[in-house]
């Protein structure tokens, strides 16, 4: 039997009416969870502790991007350079008081299939652990650290300015980093190799890219 086009449309219309009459099943809409974004924050100590402790630095979701994860898994270490500056407000311009710096180095160990996270501060390296999961390594990178800079008593308003520079080391830096972590850098002081910052470390980024994050604390007065 051969059906004409009006016959087909008629029966499609009947089927559609039947579905509507029976009632369509409710559709459940699930909101997509927004992906984590890298964030840098500072938490001030209690007012009574402002001249005894520096602010807590937190860097969350620092491995959230696909690019940095791919490079890390390919064997390129990632360096997170933290610099926290203390400023005071002046009548005409703000005054730089002092600064503290430290580094966190993350690298993948292919023979162990582990991620190693190391903190470098005051010419010393501190292991933050080895992790099988990238998420655990990311949490180690972002753990709260007391910034090595403390406010002094002052009648002026003060504040902290934090800058985090994220760098993926070039291939020719990898061997030197490995030797430094083993305390074997010929002609250099291994304890000061990373902690002297960009000038001493002289890293080069793949593709010439560098990512920076900044955060400014609320103003405060020391007691």
Q: What is the pLDDT of residue 115?
A: 97
Identify each DSSP E strand in the chain by its residue range.
39-43, 56-60, 78-88, 95-109, 114-121, 124-131, 145-146, 158-168, 211-216
Q: What is the pLDDT of residue 181?
A: 61
Q: From first to last of its 223 residues, what are the pLDDT tens digits of the chain?
A: 444 444 333 443 444 344 334 444 444 444 455 567 899 999 999 999 999 999 999 999 999 888 889 888 988 889 999 999 999 998 889 999 999 999 999 999 999 999 999 999 887 888 999 999 999 999 999 999 999 999 999 999 999 999 999 988 765 565 666 666 665 544 444 334 444 433 334 344 344 457 899 999 999 999 8
Question: In total, how many domains does the chain have?
Answer: 1
User: Would you say residue 14 lies in a domain?
Assistant: no
Q: What is the pLDDT of residue 174?
A: 59
Model confidence pTM above 0.75: no
Contacts of residue 58, Cβ cutoff 8 Å, sequence gap at least 6: 39, 40, 41, 42, 43, 142, 143, 144
User: Would you say residue 138 lies in a domain?
Assistant: yes
Q: CB of 94 within 8 A of CB of 88?
A: yes
Q: CB of 41 within 8 A of CB of 163?
A: no
> Residue 92 region, left (φ>0) first, then alpha (ψ -120 to 50), else beta?
alpha
Q: What is the pLDDT of residue 179?
A: 63
Q: What is the pLDDT of residue 205?
A: 39
Q: What is the pLDDT of residue 122?
A: 82
Q: What is the pLDDT of residue 210?
A: 76
User: Would you say residue 69 lies in a domain?
Assistant: yes
User: Would you say residue 21 lies in a domain?
Assistant: no
User: Would you say residue 141 lies in a domain?
Assistant: yes
User: Would you say residue 199 lies in a domain?
Assistant: yes
Q: What is the pLDDT of residue 92?
A: 86
User: Would you say residue 32 lies in a domain?
Assistant: no
Q: What is the pLDDT of residue 172?
A: 55
DSSP letters of 160-222? EEEEEEEEEBPHHHHHHHHHHHTT--TTS-GGGTTTT-HHHH---BGGG--EEEEEEPPPB--
Give the structural domain span for 126. 37-216
Q: What is the pLDDT of residue 33?
A: 55
Q: CB of 187 within 8 A of CB of 217?
A: no
User: Would you say residue 96 lies in a domain?
Assistant: yes
Q: What is the pLDDT of residue 117?
A: 96
As given in the structure block, the two tokens for residue 70 are 């791919």
């Amino acid at each position: 039997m051969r059906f004409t086009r009006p016959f087909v449309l008629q029966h499609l219309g009947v089927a559609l009416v039947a579905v509507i009459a029976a009632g369509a099943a409710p559709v459940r809409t699930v909101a997509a969870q927004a992906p984590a974004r890298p964030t840098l924050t500072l938490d001030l100590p209690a007012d009574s502790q402002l001249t005894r402790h520096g602010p807590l630095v937190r860097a969350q979701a620092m491995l959230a991007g696909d690019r940095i994860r791919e490079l890390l898994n390919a064997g390129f270490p990632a360096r997170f350079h933290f610099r926290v500056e203390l400023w005071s407000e002046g009548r005409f311009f703000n005054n730089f008081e002092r600064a503290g710096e430290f580094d966190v180095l993350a690298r993948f160990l292919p023979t162990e299939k582990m991620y190693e996270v190391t903190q470098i501060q005051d010419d010393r390296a501190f292991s933050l652990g080895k992790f099988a999961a990238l998420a655990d390594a990311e949490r180690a990178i972002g753990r709260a650290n007391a910034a090595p800079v403390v406010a002094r008593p002052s009648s002026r308003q003060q504040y902290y300015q934090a800058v985090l520079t994220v760098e993926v080391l070039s291939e020719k830096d990898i061997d030197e980093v490995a030797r430094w972590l083993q305390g074997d850098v010929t002609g250099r002081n291994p304890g000061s190799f990373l902690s002297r910052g960009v000038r001493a470390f002289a890293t080069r980024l793949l593709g010439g890219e560098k990512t920076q994050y900044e955060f400014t604390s609320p103003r405060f007065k020391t007691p």
